[in-house]
């Protein structure tokens, strides 16, 4: 009889479902986690919500085989350490999405109709109808930043209010945007035109502080900003400095820490809630039920569809997954990081062909920073499908004798970027970029890529601009396409070439493409 520990306040359906199947279940949300762990060292599974499960907890549970996060985010679990201990970590993506989407409209209505202060005033015996003149949602422009599960549900729930929809998401396809009836725009356009802006982004190096003075200075007077994602995606000081000038309304549900105590946004938030987004009976029930079902399928049927820290199959070198990630990342930069991708087409040669599905997750991770490259292949495929991106692993012609190599194409409908790569002498290598062969580029560090009509003097022009900016060039690759009379200059530099220098190169060289790339290690 397998033992499951649930050290959190979760709907009893999880424990009941497991007990009815013969599992031994200990559910206790009152006792301290350390004490519970000490008392249940023989447990084989954990079901948690926001509890921090790090190495110190994992090491105290020698029989632990699986951790289930009843919800989508699993940043409180050390998934890499769990993998080293051969422990699978699962989540229940989408279980809480509707609850958060509905909260967006609850906060918008509360802010627009002054529900909180009006309630306090009326309870005090006042009658201040004129003071609490409100606004309606109908006809307003709603800007949705992030079109994952929650963002898409926000779009669907807005239909009843007859709102106009703008959205920003650097990965969703144009066809998917049309399906949910949103207009894809860049962030500046969204912030300039939306009456209400709702944030549904992960917090990472690219999104941290993304809502800043530059964007906030463009909003309409009286704009309503709602943050139900992560506290770090907004610059609170910039909201503070522009709130009065822009008559900005700010509603938030997220903070640096989920804990009692004064919150730093108390002086600027019109409505602030204690992270209630997923805090509904329905969401709690769904997350609990799915946690139990997934855990039973895991133990009884060896189903691992929702494992987020999967290893790799025997026989596949992990470096090839890194290669897939870096090829897709460079392709993404070349096609435009904010350009919607409609199609991914891949070719895996040699022995890699039988592992093709294991490259979907690292490719997805290269397109979207908040997607974990260790996700299950089925989850990765579902992730792309939900965003309207078609994925194809093509049949390959082994007569080409590429060996263990791969080609990754990204397509937008009107544009395509294609890269091929392999591993040579244990080193990741990009061997082709579009029609330029024999590139032999190691995808690491800072890279400037300039494509141009082939003619003398261009390389000297590019390097001179770099020299003027104090940029040291570590290596240069300059293959030519004699049939098309085009060339490509690939410069490895000691630091990222600033956008202003790239603009100068574009003006002087008149290239068809110029991109500076900093490749994650």
How far is the C-alpha of 290 from the C-alpha of 276, rounded, in Å?
20
How far is the C-alpha of 48 from the C-alpha of 66, rounded, in Å?
11
Under the banding of pLDDT at 50, 70 and 90, the label for residue 394 is very high
Q: Pick from 506, 453, 511: which is nearest to 482 by CA?
A: 453
**Average pLDDT of the segment spanning 246-253:** 98
Report the b/e string of 204-240 with b at 16+ CB within 10 A: eeebeebbeeebbebbeeebbbbbbbbbbbbbbebbe
- Give me the pLDDT at residue 158, please: 97
Residue-wise pLDDT tens digits, 469-480: 999 999 999 999
Q: Give the mean pLDDT of the chain.
A: 93
**pLDDT of residue 196 exceeding 80:** yes
**pLDDT of residue 374 exceeding 80:** no
**pLDDT of residue 422 exceeding 80:** yes
Residue with the larger pLDDT of the pair 417 and 371:
417
Burial class (CB in 10 A: 0-12, 13-18, 19+), 400: exposed
Residue-wise pLDDT tens digits, 428-446: 999 999 999 999 999 999 9
- Give me the pLDDT at residue 74, please: 86
- Give me the pLDDT at residue 430, please: 97
- Cα separations in angstroms, 99 against 22, 81, 350: 31, 31, 47
**Average pLDDT of the segment spanning 107-124:** 97
Q: With contact defined as beta carbons under 8 Å apart, do 250 and 225 qualify?
A: yes
**pLDDT of residue 202 exceeding 90:** no
How far is the C-alpha of 387 from the C-alpha of 340, rounded, in Å?
10
Q: With contact defined as beta carbons under 8 Å apart, do 441 and 427 qualify?
A: no
Can you point out the beta strands (E) in 301-404? 343-348, 390-393
Alpha helices for 90-246 (secondary structure H): 97-112, 115-123, 149-157, 174-179, 187-193, 213-216, 236-246
Q: Pick from 399, 400, 401, 382: which is nearest to 391 by CA?
A: 382
How far is the C-alpha of 38 from the C-alpha of 413, rounded, in Å?
57
Residue with the larger pLDDT of the pair 276 and 374:
276
Q: With contact defined as beta carbons under 8 Å apart, do 366 and 326 qualify?
A: yes
How far is the C-alpha of 345 from the C-alpha of 394, rounded, in Å?
7
Q: With contact defined as beta carbons under 8 Å apart, do 23 and 3 qualify?
A: yes
- Percent with pLDDT over 90 in the chain: 83
**Average pLDDT of the segment spanning 201-227:** 94
Q: With contact defined as beta carbons under 8 Å apart, do 497 and 448 qualify?
A: yes
Q: Pick from 93, 13, 54: which is nearest to 27 by CA?
A: 13
**Average pLDDT of the segment spanning 70-97:** 90
Residue-wise pLDDT tens digits, 260-286: 999 999 999 999 999 999 899 999 999
**pLDDT of residue 377 exceeding 90:** no
Can you point out the beta strands (E) in 376-444? 390-393, 405-411, 416-424, 427-433
**Average pLDDT of the segment spanning 497-509:** 92
Domains observed in the chain: 3-94+281-301 (3.40.50.720), 97-272 (3.40.50.720), 318-519 (3.30.70.260)
The SS3 call for residue 423 is strand
């Amino acid at each position: 009889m397998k033992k499951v520990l649930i050290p959190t306040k979760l709907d009893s359906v999880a424990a009941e479902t497991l007990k009815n199947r013969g599992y031994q279940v200990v559910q206790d949300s009152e006792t301290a986690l350390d004490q519970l762990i000490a008392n249940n060292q023989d447990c084989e599974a954990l079901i948690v919500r926001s509890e921090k499960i790090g190495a110190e907890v994992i090491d105290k549970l020698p029989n632990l085989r699986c951790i289930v996060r009843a919800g989508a985010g699993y940043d409180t679990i050390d998934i890499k350490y769990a993998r080293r201990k051969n422990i699978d970590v699962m989540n229940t993506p989408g279980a809480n999405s509707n609850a958060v989407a509905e909260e967006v409209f609850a906060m918008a209505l509360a802010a627009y109709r002054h529900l909180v202060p009006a309630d306090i005033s009326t309870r005090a015996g006042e009658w201040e109808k004129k003071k609490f003149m409100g606004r309606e949602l109908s006809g307003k422009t709603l800007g949705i930043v992030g079109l994952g599960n929650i963002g898409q549900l926000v779009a669907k729930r807005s239909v009843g209010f007859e709102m106009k929809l703008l959205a920003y998401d650097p990965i969703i396809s144009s066809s998917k945007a049309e399906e949910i009836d949103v207009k894809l725009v860049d962030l500046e356009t969204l912030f300039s035109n939306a009456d209400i802006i709702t944030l549904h982004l992960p917090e990472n190096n690219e999104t941290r502080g993304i809502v800043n003075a530059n964007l906030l200075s463009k909003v309409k007077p009286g704009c309503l900003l709602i943050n139900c994602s992560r506290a770090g995606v907004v610059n609170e000081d910039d909201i503070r400095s522009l709130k009065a000038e822009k008559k900005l309304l700010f509603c938030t549900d997220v903070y640096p820490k989920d804990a009692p105590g004064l919150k730093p946004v108390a002086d600027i938030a019109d409505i602030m809630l204690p992270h209630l987004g997923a805090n509904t009976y329905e969401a709690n029930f769904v997350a609990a039920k799915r946690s139990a079902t997934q855990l039973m399928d895991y133990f009884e049927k060896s189903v691992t569809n929702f494992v987020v820290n999967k290893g790799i199959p025997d026989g596949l070198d992990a470096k090839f997954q890194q290669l897939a990630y870096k090829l897709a990342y460079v392709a993404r930069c070349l096609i435009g990081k904010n350009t919607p991708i409609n199609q991914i087409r891949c070719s895996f040669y040699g022995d890699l062909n039988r592992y093709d599905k294991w490259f979907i997750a690292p490719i997805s991770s290269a397109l979207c920073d908040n997607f974990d490259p260790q996700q299950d292949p089925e989850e990765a495929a579902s992730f792309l499908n939900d965003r309207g991106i078609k994925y194809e692993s093509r049949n390959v012609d082994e007569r080409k004798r590429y060996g263990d190599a791969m080609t990754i194409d990204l397509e937008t409908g009107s544009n395509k970027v294609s890269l091929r790569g392999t591993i040579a002498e244990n080193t990741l290598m990009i061997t082709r970029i579009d029609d330029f062969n024999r590139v032999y580029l190691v995808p690491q560090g800072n890279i400037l890529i300039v494509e141009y009509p082939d003619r003398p003097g261009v390389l000297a022009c590019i390097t001179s601009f770099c020299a003027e900016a104090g940029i040291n060039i570590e290596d240069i690759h300059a293959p030519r396409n004699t049939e098309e009379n085009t060339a490509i200059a690939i410069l490895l530099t000691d630091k990222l070439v600033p956008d202003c220098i790239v603009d100068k190169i574009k003006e002087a060289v008149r290239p068809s493409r110029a991109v500076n790339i900093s490749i994650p290690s």
